[in-house]
Structure 1
């Protein structure tokens, strides 16, 4: 198989050709590291075998870390269950034309069988049962890659990815999962390793060491503008989630959401960064989401401070000591301009991050230590009608650090970042159940929130949608047909 890389969409100005091989050991998926390319520019590529040719794809190399970059534009997505509807959000992104990359924060696919989670006509999962075996996981990945709208996103943009739980199974952690029954589904370690292996076969991610399918935390540098640290808060180091929100063990300093090794890697990277913005891409909500509070008695002792009763123990709220370790590091080392990007919960949030936002006479009168934007789902459902509207009003009352909640609409975040501010633009799909309405945005729901350099408070007043880039290099021909070789679009 030949991979051709060129500077132009017609492939008339090729810069490299590589020979590679597809084989059964890797489910006939092909990846090629295109070495020797220039930093910070677009390239076009095609796979060919004999007289068979793939559609032409487009990708971008990152600007060199020491280069001044005035602007970055990228989309943030998560939670795309094929059985809940069409990938209207992906169609919108593919037609956008001027993004630098797409950031996918997990739940790229779901493990459930027919009727178990979603029942939109003609969107049944393959295989029809829950994925458990190697063949099951491979078939499900192949089905998702066969979706024309998802193919079009991969064709248009490089995608930076991490897994969450549904790439293995619901509410997974290091030693088990809520949706794994050993008596009928076998050994968890075996299933987890299968899920990891197939993820590395089918997704645009390279092994950090040969045969290492476990390590996905890694860092990207976008010139001098952004350092992006991607975490694994799901399978690497995570202790079993607590079942009760008022369990005092949530403040246990020995509980881990990420391993000590990953934690030190993150803290060291935040300290060493010289970029204007330090972004953290990760899976579960970082901001406190509380029912009630107790006073802060000692800011460096998590067992003595914080949330009397939170809501979701799968989030950082269930691992308060790990979260406090990061916040103390930011504060003690005067690290600013930290923005956390999150997926997982099928809803939209914008929050200021404090050690303990419940102490109204304390932290909220200080500067926030970071900001967090949580992206809505591509298709997976949020709160039901009525409850979503109530949550949008009630949650900020108990949690004044949470500035925006939209709890039911599907969509994405467009991040527009320059040296002065990082602006999150929440866009929502008009419809995900109608094939004909794919790609249309409900402009009445658009929300803009920004954080400015040197001040992590969220601002909403006076914002305007960011301007598109003047120069667009998108491929404007239609997406590849569903019959195209799907591994060529990875």
Structure 2
């Protein structure tokens, strides 16, 4: 992996593939607050510098498709119990933890600047989930998220998407090894999830807006 010129420890970066695709690879571990901290203005998943980099990048990108790669999902609560204090993903829980405030900052930028064709790719929960999100409640999806994996770890326990971003869940399925394939053109974004035998378990087509 190319070492960033402005810091050898910086992992977040963009990858541009022609006019049609820009990938924003996030570092959701190095700069984050403690999971057990209560959510609020002082809590961060990305750190201020990375957050501003992402917000500016989304606004300024001229690519047809803006893909955000995050190691933790947007709407699946992970942890937050006595055994694992604090939610590990963006979604919060009944204990008041999580990173929903910062997630909302990103969502507000997408909606406020009318950033089109945004797709989140995530993992970490060891099953397949896909959501079409309508956070402004106008009946039309504003962005999508696709979660896949694992390739070789134990399958995880299925959890429904939290309701904060008004998701329509396209699939929530587990119990098998899997991986995702993405095909991108100027006019389309196609996702396919295959299991360890190569059988297709899920596919979805998005048309560019």
Q: TM-score normalized by structure 2?
A: 0.84
Aligned residue number for residue 447 of structure 1: 202
Contact 2:77 2:89 in 1 (8 A): no
1:207 pairs with 2:13: no
Cα distance in structure 1, aligned partners of 2:77 and 2:168: 9
Task: Summarize the alignment of residues 214-363 of structure 1 with structure 2, pairs less than 5 Å apart.
Answer: 214-235=9-30, 237-242=31-36, 249-250=38-39, 252-287=40-75, 313-317=87-91, 318-355=98-135, 363=137
Change (3 A) 1:397 1:208: closer
Cα distance in structure 2, aligned partners of 1:269 and 1:337: 14
Instruction: Give deviations 1:330-355, integer Å, cap 9, x for gaps.
Output: 11101010011112121111112343
Cα distance in structure 1, aligned partners of 2:134 and 2:75: 8
Change (3 A) 1:265 1:221: same
Cα distance in structure 2, aligned partners of 1:427 and 1:239: 35
1:416 pairs with 2:186: no
Give, in angstroms, the shift of residue 397 of structure 1: 10
Instruction: Give deviations 1:201-260, integer Å, cap 9, x for gaps.
Output: xxxx121138x442011111100010111110111x2001128xxxxx23x122100111
Give the number of the structure with larger relative contact order, counting CA–CA contacts within 8 Å between residues 6 or more apart.
1
Question: Match for 1:395 among 140, 144, 160?
Answer: 160
Task: Summarize the alignment of residues 124-273 of structure 1 with structure 2, pairs less than 5 Å apart.
Answer: 205-209=1-5, 212-235=7-30, 237-242=31-36, 249-250=38-39, 252-273=40-61
Aligned residue number for residue 372 of structure 1: 145
Cα distance in structure 1, aligned partners of 2:69 and 2:161: 24
Contact 1:287 1:372 in 2 (8 A): no
Counterpart of 1:323 in 2: which secondary structure?
helix
* Unmatched runs of 5 consecutive residues or more in structure 2: 79-85, 92-97
Change (3 A) 1:397 1:266: closer
RMSD value over aligned CA atoms? 2.5
Change (3 A) 1:343 1:225: same
Cα distance in structure 2, aligned partners of 1:367 and 1:288: 21
Between Structure 1 and Structure 2, the one with more helix by share is 1
How many residue pairs match? The answer is 195
* Unmatched runs of 5 consecutive residues or more in structure 1: 1-204, 244-248, 291-311, 356-361, 431-440, 455-490
Aligned residue number for residue 62 of structure 1: none
Give, in angstroms, the shift of residue 367 of structure 1: 2.3
Q: For the pair shown, which has the larger CA radius of gyration, 1 or 2? A: 1
Contact 1:396 1:403 in 2 (8 A): no
